[in-house]
């Protein structure tokens, strides 16, 4: 009952960082708890199937517990697992992948240990929202499930330079009279500062604004004078009153058009809007693993890379002999992919990047190179449409490499692949987003029956 104080044992942890316990047969979610905690909690909200409670007192602590090293982690929606050891988090991620396959997919899969690297300072990209606080601009990350900004002095997931740039940006905006955007009424200008850093430490900054303003050029002058690491400043205009960060129009006001980074000894050019993994070190490990799943062939493979973004996976896994076709829906990313192919010594004979829906991929690949023997899919969280799965299996590839950022849709889709004779060999979680409730998973589906 609401307002009851009860004692419960925490037996599981969700990806949002809620401990899960049971009382009188009902599931209770408690923030800031860990598996193995026995605690006293106050029931705050009671729903039909479950309740939410607040932690009052830890009676017996879990062995996984650690003292969080971030002052705002309880309020900020960025991290879910700052209160448990990193080992416990890696284990949880592995277990979650395993359970998703049995619960959602309806079958058991061998899950390898979660592959990991540094748990801190790994993000190469940040997207800071700005808001109005009195007469000043403020920035930070949103509280969980809200648009309330939680300010911070530093964020452990990223380089301090990002916070310094955002702070300076807000200060200069206040001085110049460039107001931060107010979502509540649509007034103001500065909406987001989106920054991406390469391994050399160079930063491309994109300021998302509600409308153009001459003073933004003065702001850019200040920024480039203060920070040597900024190599280019772009403006994106977003006039819409919704939650989408970017608007349609992007233009450069100073410096470089693109940022260059290296992955798997390949060079990648990235425009401000191109998708690129935020954790380059781990992305490299993931791509090398994907490469290892494609057997080398004397006369080369035909590889189709669906949802290819700036072409990174395909270009990292394809050898000189392989034919590579990539399909991506965002035009500027396709332009990046084409350019990246050239930068890495590929040509029109062996490479094709197409702008379009993933469902046209097989057709495009067949027309140019023939039927693919390996199809890589790396879709957004919602996973694959059944129509895409059908075009993929109809192409009859030897294997499908599924790279997923959502285990639930991955398990669902692998069950559909199974109906068509593609077996999930094993799954490997990659911790691209340590301390957060996200995990990337790579699965190799192999063809069981010859058509
Ligand atoms: N493979 C890339 C990008 C993966 S993110 C990498 O590793 O960097 C998923 C990509 O799918 C995004 O670039 C997104 O723009 C693209 N996308 C989303 N819906 C799509 C669709 N229906 N057809 C093709 N691409 C799509």
Q: For position 296, what pLDDT does the model report?
A: 93
In a domain, 433, yes or no: yes
Residue 375: both structure tokens together: 């199809």
Q: Does one domain contain both 199 and 324?
A: no
* Domain CATH code at residue 282: 3.40.50.150
In what order do the strands lie in the sheet containing 249-255? 136-139, 125-133, 190-197, 203-209, 230-237, 249-255
Q: Does one domain contain both 310 and 443?
A: yes
Q: For position 145, what pLDDT does the model report?
A: 85
In a domain, 153, yes or no: yes
* Domain endpoint, select from 18, 44, 65: 65
**By the 8 A CB rule, do 410 and 443 touch?**
yes
| DSSP-derived secondary structure letter, 102 | I
Residue identifier of the C-alpha nearest atom 19 of ligand 1 = 329
**By the 8 A CB rule, do 445 and 425 touch?**
yes
φ/ψ of residue 255, rounded to 5? 85, -145
Query: What's CA 363's distance to the chain center, in Å?
Result: 29
Tokens 């301390």 found at = 435
In a domain, 335, yes or no: yes
Best CA proximity match to 25, nearest among 48, 54, 2, 55:
48
Residue identifier of the C-alpha nearest atom 10 of ligand 1 = 307
**By the 8 A CB rule, do 279 and 256 touch?**
no
* Domain endpoint, select from 203, 238, 258: 258
How far is it, in rounded angstroms, from Cα 432 to Cα 441?
10
**By the 8 A CB rule, do 165 and 233 touch?**
no
Residues 6+ apart with CB under 8 A from 276: 124, 125, 196, 261, 268, 270, 309, 310, 312
How far is it, in rounded angstroms, from Cα 406 to Cα 386?
16
**Which ligand 1 atom minimizes the distance to the CA of 405?**
5
In a domain, 20, yes or no: yes
| DSSP-derived secondary structure letter, 101 | I
Q: Does one domain contain both 205 and 179?
A: yes
CA atoms within 13 A on the CB side of 253: 24
The tens-digit pLDDT sequence of the chain (451 residues) is 889 999 999 999 998 889 999 999 899 999 989 999 999 999 999 999 999 999 999 999 999 999 999 999 989 989 999 999 999 999 999 999 999 999 999 999 999 999 999 999 999 999 999 999 998 999 999 998 899 999 999 999 999 999 999 999 999 999 999 999 999 999 999 999 999 999 999 999 999 999 999 999 999 999 999 999 999 999 999 999 988 999 999 999 999 999 999 999 999 999 898 889 999 999 999 999 999 999 999 999 999 999 999 999 999 999 999 999 999 998 888 999 999 999 999 999 999 999 999 999 999 999 999 999 999 999 999 999 999 999 999 999 999 999 999 999 999 999 999 999 999 999 999 999 999 999 999 999 999 975 5
The DSSP line for 351-399 is: EEEEES-GGGHHHHHHHHT-S-SEEEE---TT---HHHHHHHHHT--SE
**Which ligand 1 atom minimizes the distance to the CA of 376?**
1
User: How deeply is 343 buried, as exposed, middle or buried, from its count of CB atoms within 10 A (0-12, 13-18, 19+)?
Assistant: middle
Q: Cα of 204 to ligand 1 centre, how many Å? A: 21
| DSSP-derived secondary structure letter, 442 | E
32: left (phi over 0), alpha (psi -120 to 50) or beta: left
Q: Does one domain contain both 293 and 254?
A: no
Q: Does one domain contain both 237 and 342?
A: no
In a domain, 32, yes or no: yes
How far is it, in rounded angstroms, from Cα 131 to Cα 440?
31
Q: For position 166, what pLDDT does the model report?
A: 98
In a domain, 252, yes or no: yes
Q: Does one domain contain both 232 and 306?
A: no
Q: Cα of 307 to ligand 1 centre, how many Å? A: 3
Residue 156: both structure tokens together: 């452990």
| 39 is an active site residue | no
Q: Cα of 362 to ligand 1 centre, how many Å? A: 16
3-state secondary structure of 182: coil
How far is it, in rounded angstroms, from Cα 448 to Cα 417?
11
* Domain CATH code at residue 25: 2.40.50.140
Q: For position 1, what pLDDT does the model report?
A: 84
pTM for the model:
0.93
Residue identifier of the C-alpha nearest atom 21 of ligand 1 = 357
Helix boundaries (H) for 46-100: 86-100
Q: How many domains does the chain have?
A: 3
Q: Does one domain contain both 413 and 294?
A: yes
Which residue among 206, 405, 414, 444 is the active-site one? 405
Ligand 1-lining residues (CB < 6 angstroms)? 275-277, 307-309, 312-313, 327-330, 333, 357-358, 378, 380
CA dihedral 127, 133, 136, 140 (to 10 degrees): -20
Which of 379, 383, 385 has most ligand 1 atoms within 8 Å of CB, for mutation? 379
Q: Does one domain contain both 379 and 413?
A: yes
Q: For position 450, what pLDDT does the model report?
A: 58
Q: Does one domain contain both 436 and 312?
A: yes
Q: Does one domain contain both 427 and 385?
A: yes
* Domain endpoint, select from 43, 65, 87: 65
Q: Does one domain contain both 33 and 160?
A: no
In a domain, 71, yes or no: no
In a domain, 179, yes or no: yes
Name the residue range of residue 36's domain.
5-65
Helix boundaries (H) for 40-118: 86-100
Count H helices and E strands in the chain, helices first. 9, 22
Q: Does one domain contain both 279 and 380?
A: yes
* Domain CATH code at residue 166: 2.40.50.1070
77: left (phi over 0), alpha (psi -120 to 50) or beta: alpha
Residue identifier of the C-alpha nearest atom 13 of ligand 1 = 309
């Amino acid at each position: 009952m609401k307002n009851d104080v009860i004692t419960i044992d925490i037996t599981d942890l969700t990806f949002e960082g809620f401990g899960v316990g049971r009382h009188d047969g009902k599931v209770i979610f408690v923030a800031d708890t860990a598996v193995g905690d026995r605690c006293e909690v106050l029931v705050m909200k009671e729903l039909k199937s479950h309740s939410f409670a607040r932690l009052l007192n830890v009676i017996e602590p879990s062995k996984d517990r650690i003292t969080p090293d971030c002052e705002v982690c309880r309020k900020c929606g960025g991290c879910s697992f700052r209160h448990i050891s990193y080992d416990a988090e890696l284990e949880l991620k592995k277990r979650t992948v395993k359970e998703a396959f049995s619960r959602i997919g309806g079958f058991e899969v061998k899950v390898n240990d979660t592959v990991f690297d540094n748990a801190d300072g790994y993000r190469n990209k940040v997207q800071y929202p700005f808001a109005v606080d009195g007469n000043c601009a403020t920035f930070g990350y949103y509280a969980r499930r809200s648009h309330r900004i939680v300010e911070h002095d530093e964020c452990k997931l990223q380089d301090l330079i990002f916070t310094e740039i955002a702070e300076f940006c807000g200060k200069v905006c206040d001085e110049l009279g460039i107001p931060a955007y107010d979502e509540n009424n649509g007034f103001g200008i500065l909406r987001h500062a989106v920054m991406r850093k390469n391994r050399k430490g160079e930063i491309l900054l994109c300021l998302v604004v509600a409308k153009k303003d001459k003073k933004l050029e003065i702001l850019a002058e200040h920024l480039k004078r203060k920070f040597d690491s900024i190599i280019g400043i772009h403006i994106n205009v977003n006039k819409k009153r919704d939650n989408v960060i970017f608007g349609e129009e992007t233009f450069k006001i100073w410096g470089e058009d693109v940022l260059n980074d290296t992955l798997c000894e390949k060079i990648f050019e990235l425009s401000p809007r191109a998708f690129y993994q935020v954790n380059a070190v781990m992305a490299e490990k993931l791509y090398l693993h994907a490469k290892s799943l494609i057997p080398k062939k004397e006369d080369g493979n035909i590889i189709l890379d669906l949802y290819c973004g700036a072409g990174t996976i395909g270009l990292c896994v394809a050898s000189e002999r392989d034919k590579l076709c990539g399909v991506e829906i965002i035009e500027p990313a396709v332009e990046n992919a084409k350019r990246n192919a050239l930068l890495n010594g590929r040509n029109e004979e062996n490479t094709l990047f197409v702008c379009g829906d993933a469902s046209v991929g097989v057709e495009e690949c067949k027309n140019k190179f023939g039927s693919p023997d390996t199809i890589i899919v790396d879709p957004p969280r919602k996973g694959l449409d059944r129509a895409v799965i059908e075009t993929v299996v109809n192409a009859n590839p030897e294997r499908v490499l599924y790279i997923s950022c959502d285990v639930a849709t991955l398990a669902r889709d692998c069950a559909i692949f199974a109906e068509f004779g593609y077996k999930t060999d094993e799954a490997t979680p990659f911790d691209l987003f340590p301390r957060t409730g996200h995990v990337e998973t790579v699965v190799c589906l192999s063809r069981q029956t010859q058509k």
